[in-house]
Structure formats: structure tokens, C-alpha cells
Amino acid sequence: MATSMTTRLGKIAVAAAAAVGLYVPAIDVPTSLMACLHPANIASAAPSPTCSSDLRECLHASVKTGLYGVRYVAPEDVARCVEAFNACRHGGAGGGGNPNPPPSTPAGGGTGKGLPSHLGIKTIGNGESRYDCRVSGSSVSCAGTLVAPFGTTDTYEEQFTGTLSGLTATGTFNGHQTGHSPADPSCRYEQDLSGPATFIFNLDGTVLIRQGPPQIHGTYSCGGPTSFTGNAWESTGTWSAMT
């Protein structure tokens, strides 16, 4: 295999990924990637613009978002896109058109394009909660409920609305909480909370939820109304597709 051709094709895949701001783990494994990009029988042929564009689109469609918002393309998706790129180049001098590679299928019941349209979340860490979420395009809405009393919190209900990018939903939440004083259970309170929230879904079926700092407005049976800014918190859990 000609070294110059190998280098040129490798740069095409890297450039395609870089153009959409992706971290591509498999790109730094040159032996396997170059073997796919460099068929022996067309060593002197340059890839067509159409095939190169298809490679970029395939990588872009396969982007996922992990913890802390890191965007990446999984190694198996890189291999799939490169295989499609290779098939496109075999299609003829004109590029052969888009080979339409099949989407990958992440864990948790989703598709290669993102989350399922209906999913459920079970969380732990700040009480056990359940969320019922709906996804429509890039819009996400979730209704959450505290399963059992937690600490001084007796009940909690929440609504989340946000925008999905990859597997991360960013938006706002509004919650209503009732509870009691730890020193005197007869002293009751009600609080309304609102603030920013981020739901970070992972392909292994786990989810990290970050909320706050919230604005809190409360009324108390043993005192007057009050308003203050609370502390941010995190919850972890699992998600799965629902019918």
C-alpha cells in the first residue's frame, strides 16, 4: 500500500470528524482504520467528493454525548461509517452515491438517532424517584414523582422541559415539595422550586441528572413565607424505553 495514499485517506476521515467537533476514539488506531480506507485494488484512486461528504454525514449522525457533555463517535460507528465510505468508493468514479449505512442501536431501547419517543427513569441518591419522559424531535418533557418520603421531604412532584442534543437534555424544571421540620414534625411546609436542569443519558442505560441551584418559595405552618436560592444537587439512575 502506498504510504502517501494511506496518509491522505486517513486525513479525510479525521478531517470529517473534526469538522463536526467530534472525538473519534478509533481514529488513533491507524492499522485497522487504514486497512478499511485503503483497498489494494484502488490504491491510486482518490475518494470522490460525494463519498467524502457521505463519510462526514455518517460520522455526524453517529455523534453521541457522554458525561460532562463530551461528544464522541463510538469505535463501532467509526468502523461502520468507514465501511460505507469504502463501499461508496467501490461504486464507481462518480462516487456511487450514499450507501445508506444502517444506524447503530444503543442500549436502553434507543436508536442511532437518539432516545426513544417514550422512556422511563428510575433515580436514586436524593430519594427514589420515577420519571415518565416524552421525546419529540429535539424536545423533551418529563414528569417526576418521589416514590417514598425522603428525609424531611414527604412528597415531591416535578415537571422538566428541555432541548435534546445528542443524548443530553438541557432545560428547566419546576417542582412542588411538601415536608416537615426535623425538630417538630407538626411544623409543615410547602415549597415551589424552579431552576436549570440537565439530563445526561448514556448508552449503557444509566442517566445523571443535575438540577439547580433552584429558586425556592415556601410557606410554613410555624412561620411566614420565605424565598431563597437553594443548593444544586445530582441524582443518578437508569433509563429504559417504554411502550
To which H or E segment does residue 59 belong?
helix 49-61
Minimal CA–CA distance to 123: which of 1, 234, 8?
Answer: 234
Minimal CA–CA distance to 85: which of 7, 29, 2, 9?
Answer: 9
Per-residue pLDDT of 14-72, as tens digits, reads: 444 444 444 444 333 333 333 333 333 333 345 556 777 777 777 767 666 544 444 56
To which H or E segment does residue 34 belong?
helix 30-37
Q: Give the pLDDT band of residue 120 (cuts 50, 70, 90).
A: very high
Tell whether the model's pLDDT for residue 116 goes beyond 70.
yes
pLDDT of residue 52: 73
Q: State the average pLDDT over residues 140-162.
A: 95
Q: Tell me if residue 155 falls in helix, strand or coil.
A: strand
In the chain, the percentage of residues whose pLDDT exceeds 90 is 46
Minimal CA–CA distance to 126: which of 211, 196, 23, 198?
Answer: 211
Say which residue, 92 or 237, is predicted with more confidence: 237
pLDDT of residue 7: 40
Say which residue, 142 or 10, is predicted with more confidence: 142
Q: State the average pLDDT over residues 68-86.
A: 68
**Predicted TM-score (pTM) above 0.85:** no
133 CB-near residues (< 8 Å, 6+ apart): 118, 119, 120, 121, 140, 141, 142, 143, 160, 239
Dist. CA 147–CA 163, nearest whole Å: 26
Minimal CA–CA distance to 62: which of 51, 77, 75, 47?
Answer: 77
Q: Assess contact for 167 and 64: CB atoms under 8 A.
A: yes
Least confident of 97-106, 129-138, 169-178: 97-106
The ranges assigned to domains in the chain are: 51-89, 118-241
Say which residue, 10 or 182, is predicted with more confidence: 182
Per-residue pLDDT of 156-215, as tens digits, reads: 999 999 999 999 999 999 999 999 998 898 999 999 999 999 999 998 999 999 999 999
